């Protein structure tokens, strides 16, 4: 069964990159959200295995989404990856406090992304066993 | 569809291009605000930062290291700017504008890893780093003034936190707006809130909360900063959105526990405004658009062309059935279906054409940057006035227009507009005006580039043409003022003694003209000495489809674009006179030159009586095309003749006209040029003298 993933980023190139990297060989089913609002809509009605969020978005930022997911009963099992850049050092620090499971620093490559997702998801399976 | 990675790469290039364009657009706004000493909107600076930030992120992921490195350096600079560590100045603006050019150059590289740019990129990054921050001393943290929950502070980005501080420093009051939104329509509702808040409040951020939400709705806490006192803000927002709470200022006794915030009554759920019926609650994304490869649209257009053929095949079958043993009712049904088919087909075609349309503003923005840059390089003051930026034309035309327009704008600033001192001498205001106007005229779009500079000296033009051997001295004396002006379009003629880096880029007006003609357009010039110059370009709105007059010449079918056709009259051989080896007729007491297509294409050697003269018009010239038969007007889809035939002059392409027959589309502008401007014609003029 493919994993259910959500990528939240306002850059369509990043979303396309993440989707192509994770959907190869049917590894994951990836949904995309361009804004925090769109993400809220998807989070309200889906349970995701993994949610990848860019910290720097207009309106609702990645930190606010993390805080929301932490409280959302539906998303308790989801692993959360925060995409950050060195500019937002503060963001990384706050993300950690808000329960991010891992961080991805832009620019990242396919292998980095896959390794991180695989590592997190195998962790999930162990924990539920 | 090949390797999915290629598509992702394409996605990158498109987005990168868009980001650079957005950056360029915002920089022009920033530049304008700075030079007018206006307040610079924090949102504008943040937009500029965000474009560069996103570009940096994706450039690294897609292997564009140089783009990434430049964006990185800029991002640091812009981060300092948006966090208030430095202020906008000339040096900063220069670096930012230069970066737009540099990004475009780097993105156009076929090999993004190429080391060819290493040196220049390093030098540019050094220049960026050289824009030094001017540290500002801060006294105390203004955030301490307010009792903001740690929970809220914990989810702010550095920038949001900075805006919060900046607003407090400016003396704004902080508020919390708690409102519940329908998830399905949240984008519309937020957009409405944004518009409502625009004048009175800055929205710092939106915090989604778990309270009061369910599968269909969500409660957001919106953090606002505003000058408006509480009662008024309540009056403005509470009835429409939800509960407004001021965030309390801390008392001077920090030992006191913070005032408990009252638990507000359940907020009302915000629905899209009911007085606007056009907004229906729907699952919509913020960006209601998709990007489409223009080739896919070309393909669809071809399918439409095929469908048109199917339609005419059906008509023929129906005609064939007439009088056969088919019931009258069935015939009527067939006829009705046929007509519906045609109507829907035409709608489909219009729809596809509409999708291809983009506003000319896309090019105008690029030009605005060039104007700024060129004016600075030449110490000229230029006011750019743009009208009709929302005029839409086919995407392909916009692409093709960029270079010619760029050249015209450079010309206008380099050669047309004078320096402030020169202008002062002739009693003009120091600031020159360059106008870019666009508007629709029938099925054409007209673009004007107009300056109030020194204009052209037609005698200087004439002398230059003669001295370069482009024109005989005798002939030159007979040319009208307009004909002399038209000399600027001759290859090898330049009006300026100065060679500058602005227009000395190897593109002359002749190339501009060739490019415009290739698109099926026209270019004309008007100029008065000391008053200014106006170049007018007329283009078809779309390249893909044109209305054409179908004609036959010696049994072969041709399509003549209707934009070039004024009228058709019977051809009577005995009315033809020969002047200077050219056949002419008299039409309403004017002489009309004739171009016998059958003889031009070598189908016949001798003229033939009968047939028609199709009077073509381009600009202020007329030419009569002699044809055998007229077959009415049709919308035709132009298809390229392909690489091997691209050098054949006189044809714009080919088109299907049903019955699996193909007609060549005549290239009216090329025929006109051939007839009026070929060297042979000038020689003929000369021999006459």
Of the candidates B518, B507, B361, the one whose C-alpha atom is nearest the C-alpha of residue B447 is B361
| Residue-by-residue DSSP string for B367-405 | HHHHHHHHHHHTT--EEEEEE-TT-EEEHHHHHHHHHHH
Q: What is the mean pLDDT of residues B584-608?
A: 86
Does B112 score more than 50 pLDDT?
yes
Least confident of B380-394, B430-444, B489-503: B489-503
Residue scoring higher pLDDT (B514 or B137) = B514
Residue scoring higher pLDDT (B153 or B659) = B153
- Beta bridge mates, A29: A4
Alpha-carbon gap: B556 to the closest alpha carbon of chain A (Å): 51
Note the ipTM here: 0.80
For residue B139, what pLDDT is reported?
57
pLDDT digits (tens, 9 = 90+) for B275-320: 444 433 333 333 456 777 777 887 887 787 778 767 777 777 777 7
- For residue B54, the chain A residue with the least C-alpha distance is A11
Look at the block and give the residue holding tokens 């809130």: B193
pTM assigned to the model: 0.56
Digit-by-digit pLDDT tens for chain A (129 residues) are 688 999 999 999 999 999 999 988 778 899 999 999 999 989 988 889 999 999 888 889 999 999 999 888 888 889 999 998 765 567 777 888 888 898 888 888 888 898 899 888 886 544 433
Cβ neighbours of A12 in B, within 8 Å: 11, 15, 291
Phi, psi angle pair for B534, to nearest 5°: -130, 125
Q: What is the mean pLDDT of residues B467-477?
A: 82
Alpha-carbon gap: B627 to the closest alpha carbon of chain A (Å): 54
Least confident of B353-357, B385-389, B540-544: B540-544
Phi, psi angle pair for A51, to nearest 5°: -125, 125
- Cα separation, B70 vs B59, in Å, equals 10
pLDDT digits (tens, 9 = 90+) for B255-279: 333 443 444 444 555 555 444 444 3
For residue B255, what pLDDT is reported?
39
Locate all alpha helices (DSSP H) within B468-585, ordered by sequence: 473-478, 481-485, 509-518
Contact with chain A for residue B215, Cβ under 8 A: yes
- The answer to whether B5 and B99 have CB atoms below 8 angstroms apart is no
Counting one residue from chain A and one from chain B, the pairs whose CB atoms sit within 8 A come to 136
Of the candidates B185, B262, B261, B246, the one whose C-alpha atom is nearest the C-alpha of residue B218 is B185
Contact with chain A for residue B206, Cβ under 8 A: yes
Q: Which of B60, B161, B283 sits opposite A107 (nearest CB)?
A: B60
Phi, psi angle pair for B20, to nearest 5°: -65, -40
| Structure tokens given for B161 | 């936190």
Q: Which pLDDT band, with edges at 50, 70 and 90, does B248 fall under? A: confident
Residue scoring higher pLDDT (B190 or B511) = B190
């Amino acid at each position: 069964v493919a994993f259910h993933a959500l990528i939240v980023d306002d850059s369509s190139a990043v979303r396309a990159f993440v989707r192509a990297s994770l959907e190869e060989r049917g590894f994951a089913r990836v949904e995309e959200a361009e804004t925090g609002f769109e993400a809220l809509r998807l989070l309200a009605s889906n349970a995701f295995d993994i949610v990848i969020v860019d910290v720097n978005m207009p309106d609702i930022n990645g930190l606010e989404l993390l805080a929301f997911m932490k409280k959302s009963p539906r998303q308790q099992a989801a692993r959360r990856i925060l995409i950050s850049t060195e500019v937002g050092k503060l963001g990384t620090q706050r993300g950690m406090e808000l329960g991010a499971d891992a961080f991805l620093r832009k620019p990242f490559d396919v292998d980095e992304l896959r390794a991180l997702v695989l590592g997190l998801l195998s962790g999930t399976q162990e924990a539920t066993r | 569809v090949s390797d999915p990675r290629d598509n992702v790469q394409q996605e990158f290039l498109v987005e990168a291009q868009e980001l650079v364009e957005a950056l360029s657009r915002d920089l022009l706004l920033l530049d304008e605000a700075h030079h007018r000493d206006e307040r610079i909107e924090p949102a504008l600076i943040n937009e500029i930062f965000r474009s560069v930030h996103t570009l940096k992120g994706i450039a690294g992921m897609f292997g564009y290291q140089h783009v990434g490195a430049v964006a990185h350096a800029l991002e640091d600079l812009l981060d300092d700017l948006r966090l208030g560590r430095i202020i906008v100045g000339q040096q900063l603006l220069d670096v930012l504008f230069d970066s737009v050019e540099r990004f475009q150059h780097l993105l156009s590289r076929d090999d993004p890893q190429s080391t060819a740019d290493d040196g220049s990129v390093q030098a540019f990054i050094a220049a960026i780093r050289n824009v030094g921050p001017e540290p500002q001393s801060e006294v105390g943290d203004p955030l301490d003034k307010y009792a903001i929950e740690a929970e809220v502070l914990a989810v702010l980005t550095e920038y949001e936190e900075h805006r919060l501080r900046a607003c407090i420093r400016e003396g704004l009051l902080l508020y919390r707006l708690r409102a519940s939104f329908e998830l399905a329509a949240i984008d519309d509702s937020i957009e409405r809130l944004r518009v409502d808040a625009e004048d009175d409040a800055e929205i710092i951020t939106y915090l989604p909360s778990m309270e009061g939400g369910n599968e269909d709705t969500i409660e957001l806490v919106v953090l606002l900063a505003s000058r408006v006192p509480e009662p008024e803000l309540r009056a403005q927002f509470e009835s429409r959105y939800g509960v407004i709470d001021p965030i309390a200022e801390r008392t001077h006794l920090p030992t006191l526990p913070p005032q408990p915030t009252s638990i507000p009554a359940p907020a009302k759920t915000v629905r899209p405004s009911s007085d606007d019926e056009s907004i229906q609650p729907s699952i919509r994304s913020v960006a209601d658009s998709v990007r489409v490869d223009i080739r896919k649209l070309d393909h669809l257009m071809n399918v439409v062309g095929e469908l048109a053929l199917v339609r005419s095949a059906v008509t023929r079958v129906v005609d064939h059935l007439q009088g056969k043993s088919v019931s009258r009712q069935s015939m009527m049904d067939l006829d009705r279906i046929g007509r519906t088919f045609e109507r829907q087909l035409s709608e489909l075609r219009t729809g596809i054409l509409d999708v291809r349309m983009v506003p000319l503003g896309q090019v105008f923005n690029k030009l605005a940057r060039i104007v700024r840059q060129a004016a600075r390089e030449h110490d000229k003051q230029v006011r750019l006035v743009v009208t009709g930026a929302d005029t839409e034309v086919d995407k392909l035309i916009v692409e093709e227009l960029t270079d010619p327009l760029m050249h015209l704008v450079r010309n206008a600033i380099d050669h047309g507009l004078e320096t402030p001192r020169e202008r002062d001498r002739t009693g003009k205001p120091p600031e020159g005006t360059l106008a870019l106007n666009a508007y629709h005229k029938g099925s054409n779009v007209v673009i004007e580039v107009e300056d109030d500079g020194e204009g052209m000296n037609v005698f200087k033009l004439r002398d230059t043409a003669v001295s370069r051997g482009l024109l005989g001295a005798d002939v030159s004396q007979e040319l009208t003022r307009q004909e002399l002006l038209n000399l600027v379009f001759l290859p090898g003629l330049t009006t300026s003694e100065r060679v500058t880096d602005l227009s000395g880029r190897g593109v002359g007006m002749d190339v501009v003209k060739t490019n415009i003609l290739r698109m099926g357009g026209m270019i004309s010039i008007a100029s008065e000495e000391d008053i200014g110059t106006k170049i007018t370009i007329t283009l078809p709105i779309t390249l893909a489809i044109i209305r054409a007059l179908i004609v036959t010449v010696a049994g072969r079918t041709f399509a003549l674009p209707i934009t070039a056709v004024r009228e058709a009259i019977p051809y009577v051989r005995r009315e033809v006179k020969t002047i200077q080896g050219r056949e002419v007729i008299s039409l309403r007491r004017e002489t009309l030159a004739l171009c016998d297509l059958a003889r031009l294409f070598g189908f016949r050697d001798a003229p033939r009586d009968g047939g028609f003269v199709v009077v073509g018009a381009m600009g202020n010239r007329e030419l009569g095309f002699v044809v055998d038969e007229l077959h009415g007007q049709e919308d035709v889809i132009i298809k390229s003749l392909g690489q091997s035939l691209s050098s054949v002059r006189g044809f714009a392409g080919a088109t299907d006209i049903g019955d699996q027959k193909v007609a060549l589309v005549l290239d009216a502008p090329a025929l006109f040029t051939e007839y009026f401007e070929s060297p042979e014609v000038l020689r003929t003029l000369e021999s006459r003298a």
